[in-house]
Amino acid sequence: MHGGGDKRVASSAALLPTAVVGVVVIVIALLASAGRSGTIVIQRVVEPASLTAGPRRRISLLTVTETSDRGAMTRFLLETSFGGPAAATVFAGSYLQTYLPADNTVYFVRVAALQSASNAYFARRFPGRHLVIATPPLYAGSWLAPGRRSFFAVQLSLHRYRLGGRTTIGGRSALTLIPVQLSIRFGPHSPAQMQLLRAYVSPHSYNPIKETADGRTVYLWREYRVLPATEANQRLLSLTAAHPTARVSMSARAYVRAIERLYGFPQ
């Protein structure tokens, strides 16, 4: 998943830890220690059609990413909803903060403690398997990491897209970008790849409007805003501020158990 912006683009994608058979990769953002003089980018995206086989469910994603004035990502929030209450995670340095609506709890834990607790679960549930914590590169497209230029503008300059003319989407003028390259790596040393889709972006800014595949809308941006990283706007990255009635737990073990219950794994 990816998007773009005309100034300082910053977003990220990460999933709540899910135990599966085999090696599980939890993508933890590599967050630089920096000041609060940069920008905060908000992207609210709807995924009405899945790229994978199986039942299609409408997914709503919200990312709020803080980027320093030097373009380094300092914090990001990912909120995911499958039609019900939304779960959310904020990554900040060596800590992560997760809100699980199932138990109305905000878990605030160290990444190292989460790795230890998750490995203990794997040792019990899947002998011989282990957990891998990976860090994405600092710039892998605006959905995953920061950058001062639009993801689409960068890929166009690298000839991975070509211009396909102008169109109108919901009354908005849009440029059509047709992928020349089917996919790109998340980073120079990353085995993961990101599929490039036909994209529709705002002229001049290259802000994302939507992406399509096989004539279907895959990603539709409902909101894209670039804000100053003021103290008031930083509250958008606080799950305790967003859920003031939630219980707060600092136990990594309790967090892993909550994830086990959420996905129906054996306790």
Q: How far is CA 221 from CA 143, 184, 230, in A?
A: 12, 22, 24
Mean pLDDT of 96-122: 87
Q: Which residues contact 229 (CB under 8 A, 6 or more apart)?
A: 36, 37, 38, 39, 40, 66, 67
pTM for this entry: 0.72
How does residue 261 score in pLDDT terms, banded at 50, 70 and 90?
A: confident
Span 170-225, pLDDT tens digits:
899 999 999 998 888 765 555 667 789 999 999 988 889 999 988 888 889 998 88
Mean pLDDT of 128-149: 50
Span 234-257, pLDDT tens digits:
999 999 999 999 999 999 989 888
Span 17-28, pLDDT tens digits:
333 222 223 333
Mean pLDDT of the chain: 75
Q: Is the pLDDT of residue 86 over 60?
A: yes
Cα–Cα distance between 251 and 107 in angstroms, integer?
7
**What is the pLDDT, as a whole number, of residue 26?**
33
Cα–Cα distance between 44 and 76 in angstroms, integer?
13
Residue 206: what residue type?
Answer: Y
Mean pLDDT of 24-53: 60
Domain boundaries, given as residue ranges, for the chain: 24-146+219-262
How does residue 153 score in pLDDT terms, banded at 50, 70 and 90?
A: confident
Cα–Cα distance between 119 and 114 in angstroms, integer?
8
Q: Is the pLDDT of residue 112 over 70?
A: yes
Residue 233: what residue type?
Answer: N
